[in-house]
């Protein structure tokens, strides 16, 4: 399949559309990003690569990192994650507090902020050096050693992370946070600040398209069954309160972040990452969603 030609065609078709989205300026460091950048990269399980635009430019992956921390917890730790977080779509914004009170401090799923904070708490309790261990995991699955945190973005988020502090304090009051709040927040703000390109992200997610095995190294990250479950979680919970719409329009499991990135996986075939910084009102990349919708329609490669 000549994916590059298809990328060009879709980009050209989307160009005339006015982009009503806004960059995520609630994290001050992200407000400086040039909103007109656009990149896409697809990597097949067989190792073929297809790129367009700013595919090698790094950006803030934000909530996409929640998949990495979840997988690390799911694959390595002894504690039962499902006693600490649910696995149902939230249907509320990513940083919402309302359900947590009703649900007695148990987040609906690991991909909303509250759930990701619980996962960071689990990693804080079970890994020797969580921040280093998380980075080395991502470096291993991509084969790229220069992937790192952006401490300016982490600090910027720390200074303005009022809702995230509210979430973690509420969960702590219900006994669902075991470690010191500041140490868990430090991990959380850092994972959100990781910078990667579309090329690196599509490579990093390839094990989820390959029954849990990293194609370039042969390392088994998750069993085939846990891989299926992780993809199912991305399908139902990967896009905040727009997971239904993403499933309806794109039809692939995936995860978005407020840096404007989206990664989606076609089991047995490929992982694709797209980046366009302007977000729609739900916090997902406006053009990224449209691009992927056109892509799976033109290539007939939705899983449905
Ligand atoms: N760092 C962001 C926050 O906690 C992540 C949000 C996201 O990408 O969904 O608000």
- Check if 257 has its Cβ closer than 6 Å to any atom of ligand 1: yes
**How far is it, in rounded angstroms, from Cα 144 to Cα 146?**
6
**How far is it, in rounded angstroms, from Cα 185 to Cα 194?**
15
Q: Judge whether 23 and 278 are in contact, CB under 8 Å.
A: yes
Among 39-48, 74-83, 164-173, 209-218, whose mean pLDDT is lowest?
74-83
> For residue 166, what are the CA distances in angstroms to 105, 135, 160, 180?
12, 26, 12, 14
Cα(23) to centroid of ligand 1, in Å? 13
Cα(217) to centroid of ligand 1, in Å? 31
> Which residue's alpha carbon is at the smallest distance from atom 10 of ligand 1?
95
Cα(259) to centroid of ligand 1, in Å? 8
| pLDDT tens string 115-155 | 999 999 999 999 999 999 999 999 999 999 999 999 999 99
pTM of the model: 0.97
Spell out the domains of the chain, with CATH numbers in brackets: 3-298 (3.40.710.10)
Question: Which DSSP category does 214 fall into?
Answer: -
Best substitution site from 23, 25, 27, 158 to test ligand 1's pocket, by max atoms within 8 Å of Cβ? Answer: 27
Atom of ligand 1 minimally distant from the CA of 164: 4
Flag whether pLDDT at 79 surpasses 80.
Answer: no
Cα(82) to centroid of ligand 1, in Å? 22
| pLDDT tens string 240-299 | 889 999 999 999 999 999 999 999 999 999 999 999 999 999 999 999 999 999 999 999
The separation between the first and the last C-alpha atoms of the chain, rounded to the nearest angstrom, is: 19
């Amino acid at each position: 399949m000549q994916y590059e030609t298809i990328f060009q065609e879709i980009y050209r078709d989307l160009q005339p559309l006015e982009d009503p989205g806004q960059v995520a300026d609630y994290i001050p460091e992200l407000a400086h990003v040039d909103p007109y950048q656009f990149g896409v990269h697809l990597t097949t399980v067989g190792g073929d690569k297809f790129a367009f635009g700013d595919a090698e430019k790094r950006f803030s992956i934000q909530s996409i990192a929640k998949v990495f921390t979840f997988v690390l917890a799911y694959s390595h730790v002894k504690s039962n994650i499902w006693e600490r977080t649910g696995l149902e779509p939230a249907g509320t914004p990513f940083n919402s507090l309302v359900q947590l009170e009703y649900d007695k401090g148990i987040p609906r799923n690991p991909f909303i902020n509250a759930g990701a904070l619980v996962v960071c708490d689990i990693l804080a309790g079970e890994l020797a050096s969580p921040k280093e261990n998380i980075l080395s995991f991502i470096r291993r699955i991509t084969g790229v050693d220069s992937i790192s945190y952006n401490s300016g973005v982490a600090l910027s988020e720390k200074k303005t992370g009022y809702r995230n502090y509210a979430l973690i304090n509420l969960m702590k009051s219900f006994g669902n946070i075991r470690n010191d709040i500041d140490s868990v927040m430090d991990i959380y703000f850092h994972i959100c600040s990781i910078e990667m390109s579309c090329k690196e992200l599509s490579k990093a997610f390839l094990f989820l398209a390959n029954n849990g095995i990293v194609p370039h190294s042969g390392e088994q990250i998750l069993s085939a069954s846990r891989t299926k479950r992780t993809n199912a979680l991305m399908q139902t919970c990967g896009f905040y309160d727009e997971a239904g719409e993403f499933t309806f329009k794109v039809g692939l499991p995936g995860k978005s972040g407020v840096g404007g990135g989206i990664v989606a996986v076609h089991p047995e075939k490929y992982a694709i990452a797209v980046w366009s910084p302007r977000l729609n009102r739900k916090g997902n990349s406006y053009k990224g969603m449209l691009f992927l919708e056109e892509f799976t329609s033109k290539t007939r490669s939705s899983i449905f």
